[in-house]
Chains A and B, each alone.
Chain A
Amino acid sequence: MAKRVYLNLDLCCGCRSCAAACAYGHHLQSLLGHSKLDGTAEQPLHCLHCDQPACAAACPNEAMKKMEDDTVLRSQFRCVGCGSCALACPFGVIQPDLFKHITPKCDLCIDRLAEGEIPRCVATCTSGALSFAEVDDQLADQNKNLVSVRILSNFIGKRR
C-alpha cells in the first residue's frame, strides 16, 4: 500500500508553513489549500490521492492521471484550468487558481520522494500534525485520534 500524508487535526496549529514549504518547493505556486474552520483555526487540505480519483474521471483533457505508484498527478501542459476536477473532487481539496488559470494539485513532492525524502509539508510541519506513512499503519495507529477531540469539543461547546 502506498504512503500518504495524514493530518492529525488535534495537533495542528494552523500556521500554514506546509503551504509555504509547498510554494517554495514548487516555483512559488502552493499546491496546498487551507480551509477556515473558525476565526482562528485553519485546516490544511491535503490531496488524498484516491484509489478511484473523481478528478481524473472528470478531466476533459486527460491532465489528471493515476500513476503506477498510486499517486494522482496533473500534467501542467495538458491542464487548461477548466476547474472540472475541483468540482468533481469529493473532498474539496483542489482549489483552482483563477488568476493564473491553472488548477494546482498536490504531487506528493515526487522529486523528494525519488530521493527517499518525505514531502516538504510533512518535513516542515511545526506541530507534528502531519505524518507520512502507510495508510493501513496510520489507520491502525491513529484509531484513537480519528475523531478530532479539540475541534469537536470546540464546536459542540458553541452549539446552544
Chain B
Amino acid sequence: MTNDELMKDMDIKKSRCLFCSLGCEVSFRAEGGRLTALAYDQNNPINKGSLCPRGHYNLELASHPGRLTEPQIGRRKVSWEEAVTFLRGELGAFASREIGCLVSCLQSNEAALAAVKMAGRKGIENILSAGAAADLEAYGGSKWQVPGARLATLEAIEQSEALLIVGDLLSRSPVLARRVNQVKYGKRGNKIIVLDPNKTHTSWFATSHLLCRPGTEAIALAALAGAIPFSAAAEKSGLPAAQLQQAAADFKNAASGTVIYVPQTRRLRNDLAVYYAKQLAAGSDHKSFIVYYLYGNTLGVNTVIDRAAPGHPTYHQLLDKIDRGEVKSLLMFGEDISAGHEELQKRFRMLKFVVFAGHFESESPAIYDNSLILPLATQFEGAGSFVTADGQLAVCAPIAPAAGSKTLPEICRLIAEISPAENEASELAVQGPVSQTKDEAEAKAELAALPPLEAAPVKPITYFGNNHLVSNFFWYRVNVNG
C-alpha cells in the first residue's frame, strides 16, 4: 500500500504547527473524533511529512490531560456564565485607559482582529501583541522600507545558489535542513555562508562561517550590504576584512541567493540587522530575504494590530504605564508571564485584576491571586488563519472538539458585542507589515553607537523548547537538562 492509498483509507485530519513561523502542516490520525497519533503525510509541499521535535508536541497539545477545561476565578472553578458576569463586573470598575490587552503571537489573525474590535468597542487604547522580544524587534525592522527587497519563498530558498544564514536556523526551524542540504549538495560551487558568533548545528553546513563577536551581526550585515566599509566592520565585529569581502563577493556573484535571518535575544538591534539583510537582498532580482520568527503567527498578529489599531503603544510603553500606575488591569490573551516576560512578572503585583486566557495552568503562582483564568482553544479546536514567515496565508479548520475551551474571538464576543466580517482579518494580515521609512544616516549612526557585547557562555543547543507552552510537554521535560 502506498502512502497515498493509506492516507485515503484512514481518517486523517490536517492542521498547522505554530511552534515557529515556518508553518509546517501537521497531520493526525483520528479515531472517534479524538486525535490519536501523528500521520506523517509526505505529500504536503512545506515539510514533506517531516516534523521537528517541537512539531511532535502538537499531538500532546491536542489531547493533553493538563489542558484547562473550565474557567477559574483564582483557584476556584466556575461556569462560563459566572466567569463572564465576574469579568464584566470587574472590568467595569476600571476606566478604559486603565486596561491593557496583550495578544499572543501564537493566536490567529481572526483572534487579533477580534481583540482589536473588542478594545475599540470598550475604548481600550493599550492593545498590543506579545511574544518573543527578539521577534518583535525584528518585526520592527521588517517594516522599514527598502526598495527592491522581496520576501523569499520556500522554492526560492531551495533553488538559491547562495544562502546567507544569520543565526542558528536549524535550531529554530530544523525542517529547513532538507532545503539547506539541497543547496549544499545541489550544485558544485553553491555557497552557504553562516554569520553567527557561536559554532552551531547550522554552522556545520556552512561553506564559510563568519564567527563574529557576539552582538555584532548587524554591523557585519551592514558591511556585506555595502553600507559601511569592510575595515570599519572588521574592527568592531572581529572578522578579518578579507573574509567579509570574500563573503560579500560570494553572495553578490551568485546567480540567486537568499538571506535567512533568525532573530535572537543575544543580539543587539535585531531591527537594524533585518534592515541591512533587506538591503543585501535588494541588490538583485534573484535575491530575497526571509525572517524566521520564534512564534508562529508573529507576522499576522502584528500586521493586524498595526493596521487595525494604528498608534497602539509598544510593550515597553505598556510596562512604563504599569510602573506609573496608569494601567491597573491586564487582559492576557494566550500569553503567560512565566517565560519571556520577566519584566512583566516583576510588575505583576501592581496589577489589580488580570484575565489570563491560556491553554494550560500558569506556572506562575502569582497569577492565581487576582485573576480570572479562561480556557483557550488551540488551532485544532477553533478555525483561524495564520501568516507564515514567507507571507503565505495558512487556514486551519477545527479538527477536534473543544472540551470546554473557547477561541479568542468567542471570548472577545462575550466581553463586548463585536461582529467582524468573515475575511476581514485574513485580508488585513496578508497585506504585510506597514511600511515605514528609515533614514539611512540615522541607521548608520545607530549602528556606530552599538556597544560591545560580552561573550556569553554558549547554551547547549536544544530544539526542544521555544516558548511558554512547551514546558508542559513530555519530550521537552525529558530533554531540557541535557
Q: A15-B463, A126-B177 are in contact. Are A23 and B50 (CB under 8 A)?
A: no
* Contact B181–A128 (Cβ < 8 Å): yes
Shortest distance from the beta carbon of B49 to any chain A beta carbon, whole Å: 5
Q: Which of A116, A123, A150 meets B50, CB within 8 Å?
A: A123
Q: Are B50 and A40 in contact (CB under 8 A)?
A: no
Q: Which residue of B lies closest to A115 (CB)?
A: B6
> What is the bound-complex CA distance between A134 and B463, given in angstroms?
31
Would you call A143 an interface residue if the criterion is a C-beta within 8 Å of the partner chain's C-beta atoms? no
A74 in the interface (beta carbon within 8 A): no
Within 8 A of B (CB), among A82-100: none
Say yes or no for A2: interface residue by CB 8 A criterion.
no
As a 0/1 sequence over residues 418 to 431 of chain B, the CB contacts with chain A under 8 angstroms (1 = contact) are 00000000000000
Residue-wise interface mask of A (6-20) relative to B, using a CB-CB cutoff of 8 A (1 in contact, 0 not): 000011011111011
Q: Which residues of B contact A1 (CB under 8 A)?
A: none
B2 contacts A116, CB within 8 Å?
yes
Once the chains bind, are B50 and A24 in contact (CB under 8 Å)?
no
Residues of A participating in the B interface, judged by any CB pair closer than 8 Å: 10-11, 13-17, 19-21, 23-25, 28, 39-41, 115-117, 120, 123-128, 150, 154
The distance in angstroms between the C-alpha atoms of A13 and B192, with both chains bound, is: 15
B40 within 8 A of A: yes
- Give every chain A residue within 8 A of B178 (Cβ-Cβ): 126-128
User: Chain A's nearest CB lies how many Å from the CB of B300?
Assistant: 24
On whether the beta carbons of A41 and B204 are closer than 8 Å, the reply is yes
A14 to B170, CA, bound (A): 9
**B232 to chain A: which residues have CB within 8 Å?**
none
Which residues in B have their C-beta under 8 angstroms from that of A120? Answer: 40
* B463 and A16 contacting across the interface, CB-CB below 8 Å: yes
Chain B residue contacts of A116, Cβ below 8 A: 1-2, 6
Q: Which residues of A contact B204 (CB under 8 A)?
A: 13-14, 40-41, 150, 154
Given A25-B37, A120-B40, A123-B42, CB of A40 within 8 Å of CB of B53: no
Interface residues of B in 146-189 (CB under 8 A from A): 170, 174-178, 180-181, 185
Which B residues contact A (CB, under 8 angstroms)?
Answer: 1-3, 6, 37-38, 40, 42, 47, 49-53, 55-56, 59-60, 170, 174-178, 180-181, 185, 199-205, 461, 463, 474-475, 478-479
Contact B51 A17 (CB under 8 A): yes
Given contacts A115-B1, A126-B174, contact A40 B461 (CB under 8 A): yes
Apart from A17-B56, A125-B50, 17 more pairs, CB < 8 Å: A11-B181, A13-B177, A15-B174, A17-B50, A20-B53, A20-B56, A23-B474, A23-B475, A24-B37, A40-B199, A40-B204, A117-B3, A124-B51, A126-B177, A126-B178, A127-B178, A150-B205
> Residues of A contacting B52 with CB < 8 Å?
15, 17, 20, 126
Query: Looking across the interface, which residue of chain A has its beta carbon closest to that of B199?
Result: A40
Tell me the dominant secondary structure on chain B's binding face.
Answer: helix
Question: What would 17 A/B residue contacts be, using CB atoms closer than 8 Å?
Answer: A11-B177, A13-B177, A15-B53, A15-B463, A16-B479, A17-B55, A21-B51, A24-B37, A24-B38, A39-B199, A40-B199, A40-B201, A41-B204, A124-B50, A126-B52, A126-B176, A128-B177
A78 to chain B, nearest CB (A): 26
Residues of chain B lying within 8 A (CB to CB) of residue A125: 50
Query: For residue A124, which residues in chain B have a CB less than 8 angstroms away from its CB?
Result: 40, 49-51, 55-56
Q: B475 and A20: CB pair below 8 A?
A: yes
A123 and B201 contact, Cβ closer than 8 Å, known pairs A11-B181, A13-B177, A24-B56: no
A66 to B402, CA, bound (A): 46
For residue B199, which residues in chain A have a CB less than 8 angstroms away from its CB? 39-40
Task: Tell me, rounded to whole Å, the shortest Cβ–Cβ distance linking A108 to chain B.
Answer: 15
**Given A17-B56, A127-B177, A154-B204, A117 and B6 contact (CB-CB distance below 8 Å):** yes
- Minimal beta-carbon separation of B370 from chain A (angstroms): 37
